[in-house]
Chain A
């Protein structure tokens, strides 16, 4: 499992402590954030991931200062910034709609923050030039923002937010308005910018693939709560809860009886009768019936016997791989993803009696 986590200084750039945000009052109160606590390390690419309405944007707005928490603290290098207005926080935002000033040129947009900070003209010019170079927009410095393409606007928005050298850069779904190819390009571009500037990035997205490919760490959110924080590898392979496992990628859920614990692993007896070793989610409370998850690509389909047995229901070809949907004899459904080779078909057909073997490190017991 060679996931490489870059070196961190270990200092926290942002520390969210017990933050609650309640909208409305009385009966119609809604908690957009329900007592959220999370440390975000210096110089990391941190992603808030979740479906719309999960509170990720609310948390970002609280850090930016566009809204104030109902309770709790937001520490920026140890100082509580929660009560400060946005213009007093050394934190800048890249907006989903970019929010470029239409009556200013590209260069004026990028220089705006420095100008408001009262920097001398020469310094602003030098910094704007450096930013234009960083996002490769030198040629368009004098253009109006309405005269450049969406991808270019995106770059200007990034340059504008990076120009004042904020301690933390907030990105509110900045890639969602771009088409697929441009989005892929900008993902790489963002990683490069983060690496070159050494600024802590807090990135909000609902796109799990984007989160997995870009982040150092991900916080998965749902209904105003953070369910799990970890590296993309942790989140994908060691989901703590059903929601996390379900939201990120595809997965198989199996009911199992936990028959033994030890060494961070559990002995799980599946409905088929087979007993497998599985890793255990943090905070798991021993109980009789637990849910075990297995990713479709971590299981192997065989013609003979396996940990599970069943009948092939459907075979779906995806180009790079094939998804084989199996109806297990226990009544549960299970999908196996098998990498395609060029010469041979997948080797299974609808109606085949098959066995499924689950590898030693393929299963994880959820805490809920």
Chain B
């Protein structure tokens, strides 16, 4: 059946697709494989071993950085999701007005401004604040992560709101529900999958961030990614592979979980 033309079947497409997948996944496969290397090298195979996982587990710096990552991620993602939910409600539950597009752009600004610019700007700004207040805790990192996580939480929530039938809220009001009870009983339950999706996405983004964190963190405030970056500068051992492997599994698990939840809720 070679007669009919199909955009799906073009010479070379298969090869291009295969190349893309190989470039994308082969390095990850190699990284994971060498996490189980018994030797100290990340390029020469010396037999199977779990010792690098064990050594990472016993490395208090790794554990510290991981816990810090999770702490920042959890707080920042929660704050970002709350802010994003309010922003999404405000930008969808309204008739279009001049300036609304500008507000979308302002909310999504962290997606467009290069991270390095935000990083430098925050470094300068926060150093002034530090001098002024004397506070040098995790608050700066949490604030920075919250800010750049907002658009990631905002997008799925807004998508969900835009697909929601407005007459449902009208029907609730018609059935004697005050605006607050309409929100609690109708809008929020229907919005919940979007909010969860936003929360998970924000959490993963926060967990993964290097550039802004590197600029904003004070001494002893390494997150897992910045710790790994620091280690690589000093020479690589398969311990980094082991940490990366665990990190990868965690990310995949979170994304899968959020996918399952949002699918079930639909």
State whether B190 touches A93 (Cβ < 8 A). Answer: no
For residue A306, give the distance in angstroms from its CB to the closest CB of chain B.
55
For residue A90, give the distance in angstroms from its CB to the closest CB of chain B.
9
Q: Which of A120-179 contact B (CB under 8 A)?
A: 160-161, 164
State whether A64 touches B174 (Cβ < 8 A). Answer: yes
Q: How far is the CA of A117 from the CA of B181 in the complex (A)?
A: 11
State whether B176 touches A97 (Cβ < 8 A). Answer: no
Q: How far is the CA of A64 from the CA of B178 in the complex (A)?
A: 15
Contact for A113 among B167, B170, B175, B186, CB less than 8 A: B175
State whether B170 touches A99 (Cβ < 8 A). Answer: yes
Q: Taking chain B's interface residues, is the majority helix, strand, or loop, or is none over half, making it mixed?
A: helix
Q: Does B139 contact A (CB under 8 A)?
A: no
Contact for B170 among A86, A88, A103, CB less than 8 A: A86
State whether A164 touches B176 (Cβ < 8 A). Answer: yes
- Chain B interface size band reads 10 to 19
Closest to A172 in B: B167
Q: How far is the CA of A367 from the CA of B172 in the complex (A)?
A: 44
Given A99-B165, A101-B168, A92 and B175 touching (CB < 8 A)? yes
State whether B181 touches A93 (Cβ < 8 A). Answer: no
Interface code B185-197, partner A: CB below 8 Å = 1, 0 otherwise? Answer: 1100110000000
Q: How far is the CA of A103 from the CA of B171 in the complex (A)?
A: 14
Contact for A85 among B173, B175, B190, CB less than 8 A: B173
Q: Does B39 contact A (CB under 8 A)?
A: no
State whether A87 touches B167 (Cβ < 8 A). Answer: no
For residue B257, give the distance in angstroms from its CB to the closest CB of chain A.
21
Which chain B residues lie closer than 8 Å to A93 at the CB level? 171, 174
Q: Does B177 contact A (CB under 8 A)?
A: yes
- Chain A interface size band reads 20 to 34
Given A64-B174, A86-B173, A160-B175, A97 and B167 touching (CB < 8 A)? yes
Q: How far is the CA of A179 from the CA of B190 in the complex (A)?
A: 29
Q: How far is the CA of A91 from the CA of B175 in the complex (A)?
A: 8
Closest to A95 in B: B167
Q: Does A112 contact B (CB under 8 A)?
A: yes
Which chain B residues lie closer than 8 Å to A85 at the CB level? 173
Closest to B164 in A: A102
Given A66-B170, A93-B171, A87 and B176 touching (CB < 8 A)? yes
State whether A97 touches B173 (Cβ < 8 A). Answer: no
State whether A112 touches B173 (Cβ < 8 A). Answer: no
Given A101-B186, A103-B189, A103-B190, A113 and B168 touching (CB < 8 A)? no
Interface code B134-173, partner A: CB below 8 Å = 1, 0 otherwise? Answer: 0000000000000000000000000000000101101111
For residue A95, give the distance in angstroms from its CB to the closest CB of chain B.
5
For residue A107, give the distance in angstroms from its CB to the closest CB of chain B.
14
Q: Does A344 contact B (CB under 8 A)?
A: no
State whether B171 touches A101 (Cβ < 8 A). Answer: yes
State whether B171 touches A99 (Cβ < 8 A). Answer: yes
Given A113-B176, A116-B176, A97 and B165 touching (CB < 8 A)? yes
Closest to B189 in A: A103
Q: What are the 9 A-B residue pairs with the smallest beta carbon separation, nearest first?
A: A113-B175, A99-B171, A116-B176, A99-B167, A86-B173, A116-B177, A93-B174, A87-B176, A87-B173
Q: 17 A-B residue contacts at CB 8 Å? A: A86-B170, A87-B174, A87-B175, A88-B176, A92-B175, A97-B167, A99-B170, A99-B171, A101-B172, A101-B186, A103-B189, A103-B190, A112-B177, A116-B176, A116-B178, A160-B175, A164-B176
